[in-house]
C-alpha cells in the first residue's frame, strides 16, 4: 500500500471516529433533555450513545493501525489436527 493511500485510510478512519463521537454527543444530549426518561426511546438513545462513543473513541485513537496484525500466544492458537 502506498503512503498516500495509507494516509488517506488513516485520516478517513479518524474522521469516521469524530463523526461517531458527534452522533454519540447528540444522542446523549437528546437523552438528557427527555423529561420522562423511561421508555424505549430512552433506551435506544442510551444504546446509540454508548455504541457510537465506544467505536468513535477507538477509531479516533487507533486510526489506520486497526488493520495491523496481532501476534497470538501459542496457548491460544488452534491445535493441529
Domain borders along the chain are 3-76
Q: Give the chain as a DSSP string.
A: --HHHHHHHHHHHHHHHHHHHHHHHHHHHHHHH-SS--SHHHHHHHHHHHHHHHHHHHHHHHGGGGGS-----GGGSPPP-
In this predicted structure, what is the pLDDT of residue 81? 67
In this predicted structure, what is the pLDDT of residue 56? 96
Q: How far apart are CA 37 and CA 34, in angstroms?
A: 6
In this predicted structure, what is the pLDDT of residue 12? 95
Taking the chain (81 residues) in runs of 10, the rounded mean pLDDT of each run is 85 96 97 86 95 96 90 83 67
Amino acid at each position: 500500500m502506498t503512503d498516500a493511500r495509507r494516509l488517506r485510510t488513516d485520516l478517513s478512519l479518524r474522521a469516521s471516529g469524530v463523526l461517531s463521537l458527534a452522533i454519540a454527543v447528540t444522542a446523549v444530549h437528546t437523552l438528557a433533555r427527555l423529561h420522562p426518561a423511561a421508555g424505549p426511546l430512552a433506551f435506544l438513545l442510551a444504546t446509540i450513545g454508548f455504541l457510537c462513543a465506544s467505536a468513535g473513541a477507538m477509531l479516533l485513537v487507533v486510526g489506520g493501525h486497526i488493520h495491523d496484525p496481532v501476534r497470538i500466544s501459542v496457548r491460544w492458537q488452534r491445535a493441529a489436527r
